[in-house]
Structure 1
Amino acid sequence: MKWALWLLALFSVAVAVTLAARYNNGYVLVVAQPYRVELSLNLLAVLLLAVIFIAYFAVRLAVITLRLPTEVGEFRSRRRHEKARTRMLDGLKAFFEGRYAQAEKASSAALELKESPAVNAINAMVAARSAHELRKYSRRDEFIALAERNAPKEITLRLMTQAELLLDEHRPDEALKILQSLTTTGTRQPTAALRLELKAQQRSKNWDAVLDLLRELEQRDAVDMELVRQLRRRAHVESLKSRRLNPQALKEYWQNTSSTDKKDGKLAAAAARAYISMGDSATARQIIEESLDNQWDSELAELYAQCTGNDAIRQIERAEAWLKSHPNDASLLLALGKLCVHCELWGKAQNYLEASLSVEPDYPAHLALAQLNEKLGRPELAGDHYSKGLELALKRLDALAQE
């Protein structure tokens, strides 16, 4: 439609010019001694228009000629950018599809086109990750070094990738050094970096650092609270185990543990075991009693029999008080049986141990009854319980092996 309007206007102008020329009788006299040239006004107008058009096209041609090298350079640059973009996308697509050899090849080809530093860094990291998946570790390190040379400002991208790959290669100490160098940049660490550091600290068994990182991640609301609870419990348990040979360190650590964490039955059990291993049964007993009064845990109840002292009778009374609230707890019945054996209350011991077996047959109760019967001079009954206990233990081992 637009072109039709232009064509109509052009024809209208042509008709107007033709009519004007028909009724125009004027002329122009050009004097240039010794010449005199007489031209009609119409012809002069045509000549002037021709000169203008020729001059316009001459200037346009000159401009195009002068700009040609620039335009050719821009065209080549566009082609190179398009080619680099295509190869970069090919590399990313192949990487996410799991075709690591093709991903490395495409990303390496994109690197040769020397795009911007940020693009070069991305291509280098894709190539490095692909080489890592192919177990070409030296090749991987070459790509990382190339990114450091060509894109020195892309520090976070390079260090995060390098740390993650080292961690995957089971080199947590080196990964930690990389992540620690990331903190020296002065910028706030990304949440992903903290998660990586958490994994590295776990594998390096730096449990105090794990607890610090969990607190920071919890403040950022960056991890699932159930996962935080499990990881914190494990970190505390491992820290307690590592302090078993240092009573003062163990005491300070347990005192500095928050009251919320102390309520965790698994953590209380670990602390009690640590004190029992040092021979401090009184503190272990106190930890178990406080934890069980707050929240019942069968594992702690069974552990209660391992921290006997001079006041075992009081322990029996305390355990029998718990039994009123938990009459069918096999672990508590087993602990009462062992406590009665310790106090040489043979009849009560046998009753509690047999009650434990009636609730939940298990090899610890059979073992305790076997030892009790040996003391009472009943070798046949002792042998029977040893046999049944061994059978249950083997069944449990088979079940664990099949899981």
Structure 2
Amino acid sequence: MKRGLLLLLIILFAGAWLGEKMVQDPGYVLISYDRTTIETSLWVLLVIGLVSFLLAHLLLRLLSKARIPTSELRHWSERRALRNAHRRTLKGLQAFADGSWWKAQRFLGQAAPRAELPLVNYLVAARAAQEQGDDKAADTFLQQARQRSPQSATAVDIAQAQLQFDRGQFEECLATLSALQAKLPKHSQVLRLLHSTLTQLGDWQGLASLIPSLRQNKILPEESLQALELRCYREMLGHTLAQLPPETEHETRVQALNRAWQNLPTKLTSDESLVCDYVSQLTTLGEDARAEIFLRDQIKRNWNETLVRIYGRLKGENTHKQLEIARKWEKDHPNSAALLLTLGRLSMRNEHWGKAIGFFEQSIALQPSAEAYAELCRLLQHLGEHDKLATRLQEGLSTTGAGLPNLPMPEKMAALND
């Protein structure tokens, strides 16, 4: 009661004091904006300000009592942002599908922070930037993807490796993929990229080591894997001597070549192309005698016409014994044109000229070949058998030139006069 009376007295006193002041000096306030002016007394302006404050306070209290949850406002704002991000993402993906790389990069990059799947936005935006040659932007998008989705580091690393491969950064790509393979040894995309990267680098040893994983995880068809395996070991065998320093001693070179052959998988040691490569490198080193022994064993285990033909080109330690070995093969393969050609050559090494002519003629009768005709004609020329030589030359031209087009030829007399 006393407090209410005291408050009333204070209000009355304040009102009387303010009333006296307003009468003594009402004040003057001028507000001007553009061409509009407002004139009023100071006390009226203060009253308007006070009333405005009270009204605003009252409005806020009413809103508070209405219990409108602020979380709803926040959720509405978030849903709106998500819808915008979704719309931009769809536009970006459509642009990417149409090949409009700059649009795809722009829309996907803008939508990524609010996208439902930001990883997709960042990865596709990185690819769009890459297509425009903007490597820096592509790397930035990948870095953002890694920061935003650390749980998807594998997907980002694979995308990084793919971009490095497309840029021709094969060494960097190999480093990225090697780290991935250590964590995910059976990941098909990692294995595919590793296969392509190692092929580009010409790392045949690495490819050979990768083949078991490619086969186990069915990354390539078996036929392709077999061809790849053969190529790897042919390349490794073919580069054996080239990798040695020029000053390497002869015997060391031979030993290195032999080790390379011994390191081949057993199933490939009978492959014709590998055998031919090995023999060729032995002969390059001047090791015909070793090549003859090796090739003799190969032919004994697995008859092969190509190897038999090569055998006739080699000069073993004992040419007479070499000829006798080939004669024994004739019993089991009497109709082999390749063997008869080889017998003719080995007969020449032993200076059995008549027998050599016979073998060459038999080979031609079974299967005419330019090689057999060339050997026979060369021998006939050195023996002075010019008539036979002319006949065989004509036969050889008719045989080897069978595929020539039908063209007009000059008359003999006209040719002589010209």
Same fold? TM cut 0.5: yes
Residue 344 of structure 1: aligned partner? 351
Contact (CA 8 Å) 1:302, 1:335: kept in 2 or not? Answer: yes
Alignment of 1:122 onto 2:126: no
For each residue in 1:317-354, what CA deviation from the matched residue of structure 2 results, as whole angstroms up to 9, or x when unmatched? Answer: 32233333333333222222221222222222222222
Contact (CA 8 Å) 1:363, 1:388: kept in 2 or not? Answer: no
Residue 251 of structure 1: aligned partner? 258
C-alpha distance in 2 between matches for 1:78 and 1:167: 34
Residue 360 of structure 1: aligned partner? 367
For each residue in 1:204-227, what CA deviation from the matched residue of structure 2 results, as whole angstroms up to 9, or x when unmatched? Answer: 332222211223323444332222
SS for the counterpart of 2:213 is: helix
Residue 215 of structure 2: aligned partner? 218
Cα distance change, pair 213–362 in 1 and its aligned pair in 2 (3 A):
same
Of 265-274 and 223-232, deviating more is: 223-232
Cα distance change, pair 211–278 in 1 and its aligned pair in 2 (3 A):
same
Cα distance change, pair 165–184 in 1 and its aligned pair in 2 (3 A):
closer
Alignment of 1:4-403 (within 5 A): 62-64=66-68, 66-91=70-95, 94=97, 99=98, 101-102=99-100, 105-114=103-112, 115=115, 116-128=117-129, 131=131, 136=132, 138-139=133-134, 141-152=135-146, 153=150, 155-164=153-162, 167=165, 171=168, 174-184=169-179, 186-189=182-185, 190-244=187-241, 246-379=253-386, 381-382=388-389
Contact (CA 8 Å) 2:127, 2:138: kept in 1 or not? Answer: no
Instruction: Give the CA deviation at 1:161.
Output: 4.1
For each residue in 1:34-75, what CA deviation from the matched residue of structure 2 results, as whole angstroms up to 9, or x when unmatched? Answer: xxxxxxxxxxxxxxxxxxxxxxxx999934463453133123
SS for the counterpart of 1:328 is: coil
Structure 1 residue identity aligned to 2:80: R
C-alpha distance in 2 between matches for 1:65 and 1:351: 110
Cα distance change, pair 82–247 in 1 and its aligned pair in 2 (3 A):
same
Instruction: Give the CA deviation at 1:196.
Output: 2.6
The alignment yields a C-alpha RMSD, in angstroms, of: 3.3
Instruction: Give the CA deviation at 1:311.
Output: 1.8
Of 378-387 and 254-263, deviating more is: 378-387
Contact (CA 8 Å) 2:92, 2:103: kept in 1 or not? Answer: no
Of 227-236 and 154-163, deviating more is: 154-163
Cα distance change, pair 345–166 in 1 and its aligned pair in 2 (3 A):
farther
Q: Unmatched 5+ residue regions in structure 2? A: 1-61, 243-252, 406-418
Contact (CA 8 Å) 1:108, 1:127: kept in 2 or not? Answer: no
C-alpha distance in 2 between matches for 1:326 and 1:280: 28
Cα distance change, pair 385–205 in 1 and its aligned pair in 2 (3 A):
farther
C-alpha distance in 2 between matches for 1:203 and 1:386: 48
Task: Give the structure with higher Rg (CA).
Answer: 2
Cα distance change, pair 375–157 in 1 and its aligned pair in 2 (3 A):
farther
- Identity of aligned pairs, percent? 25
Instruction: Give the CA deviation at 1:362.
Output: 2.3
C-alpha distance in 2 between matches for 1:216 and 1:225: 12
Contact (CA 8 Å) 1:268, 1:287: kept in 2 or not? Answer: no
SS for the counterpart of 1:320 is: helix
Cα distance change, pair 199–183 in 1 and its aligned pair in 2 (3 A):
closer
SS for the counterpart of 2:183 is: coil
Cα distance change, pair 164–285 in 1 and its aligned pair in 2 (3 A):
farther
Instruction: Provide the aligned length of Structure 1 versus Structure 2.
Output: 325
Residue 32 of structure 2: aligned partner? none
Contact (CA 8 Å) 1:244, 1:277: kept in 2 or not? Answer: no
Contact (CA 8 Å) 2:177, 2:194: kept in 1 or not? Answer: no
Contact (CA 8 Å) 2:123, 2:142: kept in 1 or not? Answer: no
SS for the counterpart of 2:100 is: helix
Cα distance change, pair 178–262 in 1 and its aligned pair in 2 (3 A):
same
Q: Unmatched 5+ residue regions in structure 1? A: 1-57, 399-403
Cα distance change, pair 148–122 in 1 and its aligned pair in 2 (3 A):
closer
C-alpha distance in 1 between matches for 2:291 and 2:220: 33
C-alpha distance in 2 between matches for 1:209 and 1:397: 47
For each residue in 1:174-196, what CA deviation from the matched residue of structure 2 results, as whole angstroms up to 9, or x when unmatched? Answer: 31332223323551243332333
